[in-house]
Each structure stands twice: as C-alpha cells, then as structure tokens.
Amino acid sequence: MADAPRTVLISGCSSGIGLELAVQLAHDPRQRYHVVATMRDLGKKGTLEAAAGEALGQTLTVAQLDVCSDESVAQCLSCIQGGEVDVLVNNAGVGLVGPLEGLSLAAMQNVFDTNFFGAVRLVKAVLPGMKRRRQGHIVVVSSVMGLQGVVFNEAYAASKFAVEGFFESLAVQLLQFNIFISLVEPGPVITEFEGKLLEQVSTAEFPGTDPDTLSYFQDLYLPASRELFHNVGQSPQDVAKVIVKVIGSARPPLRRQTNTRYTPLTALKAMDPSGSLYVRTSHRLLFHWPRLLKLGLRCLACSCFRTPVWPR
C-alpha cells in the first residue's frame, strides 16, 4: 500500500521561488505531496493557478496566509485536514536595500517582522503537531546573506543572520523528536521583484544620506549588483529544484547552498573566520577595483571556476 501524500505548507507562493516550488512538488510523478500553497494576497493567485494546471484542486491547494498575523496563521492551519503539516517551507520574505541613513526604522522592522518573526510564527504553530507525531521537516529559505554581510543590505542580511542562528539552535532539540531543519541558502535569484526593486532604488533620494555615500551606492554598488545578478544569478526554477531534492532526502542536510558559482564569494569568509579577509577584499573590490570585480564576476559566469572552491 502506497504511503499517504505528505502535506507541504509553503509561504510566499504568489511568485518566484515559492511559486516554482509549489508547482514542482504538485507535479511530482510519484504524487508524494499535497501542497498547500499560500500567499498574503489571493488576488495574485492567477499565475500560480495557471502554472499548476491539472494539479490545482488535486495535489495543490491555494490558501491565504499572512505570516505576520497570528489569526491568519491559525485560520490557514484550520483549513488543512487534521491541521497536520508534514513539511513546512518558510519562504515568505521581503528585501530592503539602500544607504542606512536613508532607511526608516519602520522599514527595517518590517523586514524582521516578515523574514524572521514570520518564520518563527509558522514554526510555533506547526511544531506541537510535529512533536506529537515524532516526525516533520522544516525548510527555511534563507540566503547567503545569512552567512556573510553585504554592503547596503544591512537590515536584510541581519534578518537572515537571525534566521540562521535561530534555526541552527532549534535543530539540536528537534532531532530528539525526529524533526529535521534545513536552511536553504540561495545567492542572487533573478525575479521580476528583484528587477523592480533595483530599478526603484536607483532613482530613490534616500533623505538624510550624505552625497559621498549616495554616490557610492548609485555609482558603485548598483552597477556591481546588476553585474552580479547578470553573471551569477539563478532562476527561481533552479532554486526550487534544489529544495525539492532537500525535501525528498532521507537524511535532510542542515544547510544547502543552491549556487556553486557563488561559492568563491563565500569562501573568503571560510578561509578567515575572523571576517577581516572578506571585509577588506570586498571593500577593495567595490571601492578601489570595480573593474577587477566586474571581470571576476564574468569569470564566474563563464565557469572559469568549474569546481567549488574550498579553503585547505
């Protein structure tokens, strides 16, 4: 007798990684999953429903979920048969980029409310059932910015550092209940949202920012960021494929980076745990050697580094 499909609850499915992951799991040839694909605004469900095709209403259900609301989380779980979630994928997230002086504390708090507290809120809701059944898998879409800071992304990186520390700590306890945690760490992901975000901040004024800092952001960081996305960026489909493998693994990993082309950029911090090598090299490349940075990113794109780079 075939095993019953596992219920997979995914947040942030209106677009990007969440949408692609929901569709790939719903179209699993072995029909191992029933996907509850959620989003804050159901007015945006059209793209997901079209992509789901015949899986809609069969192996995929669309539901409303605001990860920043206790009431919304409770309502969503009450609509799941038995209220039992076998796999939780914390994918909902927001970005924030720009000079610190020009960003409001409210905007930074919003990043933490979604990226960190939203993930914690969902885990608190599903964890009692997972512990009672002595099984479960919590997948968290983190970021390489949870491993190393990136200039002009301070608040976003901080939210992902918090995610990494929280879930690594929780993973120790949950192994005792046969519950696994997996932190999936994409690098740059090419989405319509990211494109619009970069376009918006390129013309933003960031009041309170001194002229030098604003110039560094607009004339150095933004061109380097576009180059990074162009040369090293992954598609949401490729990231979703990695997550599908993580979910299907008999022994899920605690961490899984999705983009081997980004590995040389994270290797700097691994080579020097103090962080000084990464900070000084990043500073020199961005502020003093932007042409070398551009050349290096193009090398990554053309597979000059054909195998992952690891420190000896």
Q: Which residues are catalytic?
A: 156
291 annotated as a binding-site residue: no
26 annotated as a binding-site residue: yes
50 phi and psi angles, rounded to 5 deg:
-65, -40
C-beta atoms surrounding 101 within 10 Å? 12
d(CA 190, CA 48): 18
Identity at 76, one-letter amino acid code: C
| Residues linked to residue 185 through DSSP beta bridges, in sequence order | 257
98 annotated as a binding-site residue: no
114 annotated as a binding-site residue: no
d(CA 289, CA 103): 27
38 annotated as a binding-site residue: yes
Orientation angle between helical segments 118-133 and 70-78, nearest 10 degrees: 40
E strand map for 11-82: 33-39, 60-64
109 annotated as a binding-site residue: no
E strand map for 166-220: 179-185
13 annotated as a binding-site residue: yes
207 annotated as a binding-site residue: no
232 annotated as a binding-site residue: no
33 annotated as a binding-site residue: yes
E strand or H helix at 94, and its extent?
none
E strand or H helix at 148, and its extent?
none
d(CA 312, CA 309): 9
Residue located via tokens 């990993």: 253
C-beta atoms surrounding 31 within 10 Å? 13
Could you tell me which residues come within 8 angstroms of residue 280 by beta carbon, excluding any fewer than 6 positions away?
A: none
C-beta atoms surrounding 187 within 10 Å? 22
63 annotated as a binding-site residue: no
129 annotated as a binding-site residue: no
The most distant pair of C-alpha atoms in the chain lies apart, rounded to whole Å, by 68
Contact 192, 257 (CB under 8 A): no
54 annotated as a binding-site residue: no
Residue located via tokens 């997901």: 48
35 annotated as a binding-site residue: yes
30 annotated as a binding-site residue: yes
16 annotated as a binding-site residue: yes
2 annotated as a binding-site residue: no
28 annotated as a binding-site residue: yes
Looking from the CA of 169 toward its CB, the CA atoms found within 13 Å total 7
Residue set of the binding site for NADP(+): 12-40, 66, 160
Residue set of the binding site for substrate: 143
Residue set of the binding site: 12-40, 66, 143, 160
